[in-house]
Every structure is written in C-alpha cells, then in structure tokens.
C-alpha cells in the first residue's frame, strides 16, 4: 500500500478530518448518489459514488465533480468514478 495513503472514511464520521467529512456531505447532497467513498493522498483526492437507478453515470459524475469544485486546493488532482455494486459501504461513510 502507498505509504502516503490516508483513508479516513472507515472512521466514525465525528472523527473524520473536517475536509473529508465536508466532501462526503457535499457528495451525498447530490441527487442520485446512494453511496460514496472518499480517499485522500498528499496531493490527490479520489471520489467514488454509487448511482441510484434513475440517474445516468456520466451525468452523476459531472454533477458530483461540480458540487465539490469549491473544495479543491490549488495543484491538487481529483478523480471521480463509480463504485462497484458488490463493494460494501465503508462503516464511517455518512449515510443518506
């Protein structure tokens, strides 16, 4: 595993760093998101979402990316993707 990897999503929500907690709150606020995970490295953030049955994946990813744009830091890379259906949710993820 990458030594710079910092995943706090499996921690209880009240113990998450404020930025990760806010990212999850914003992502879950996007219509059509039924599950989410956020990973953070030193200069990169990855967001995975599970779409509802009534939304298309490309549209959902565009809306999630737009929703979190204000949280980006200069020089930081953000990646967005769809979570696999059989992937269990993280215990610490905020539930919708």
Tokens of 52: 């509802």
Cβ pair 38, 46 in contact under 8 A: yes
Q: Quick one: pLDDT at residue 53?
A: 93
Cβ pair 36, 24 in contact under 8 A: yes
pTM of the model: 0.75
For domain 13-82, the CATH class is: alpha beta
Looking at the predicted structure, is the pLDDT value of residue 1 above 50? no
Integer Cα distance of 53 and 9 in angstroms: 24
Q: Quick one: pLDDT at residue 16?
A: 84
Q: Which residue has the tokens 């995975």?
A: 48
The residue among 42 and 26 whose pLDDT is bigger is 26
Cβ pair 2, 10 in contact under 8 A: no
Tokens of 6: 């910092």
């Amino acid at each position: 595993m990458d030594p710079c990897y910092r995943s706090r999503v499996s921690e209880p929500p009240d113990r998450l760093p404020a930025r990760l907690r806010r990212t999850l709150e914003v992502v879950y606020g996007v219509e059509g998101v039924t599950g989410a995970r956020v990973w953070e490295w030193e200069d990169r953030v990855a967001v995975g979402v599970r779409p509802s049955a009534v939304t298309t994946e490309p549209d959902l990813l565009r809306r999630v990316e737009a929703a979190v744009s204000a949280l980006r830091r200069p020089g930081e890379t953000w990646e967005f993707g769809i979570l696999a259906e059989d992937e269990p949710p993280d215990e610490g993820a905020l539930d919708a």
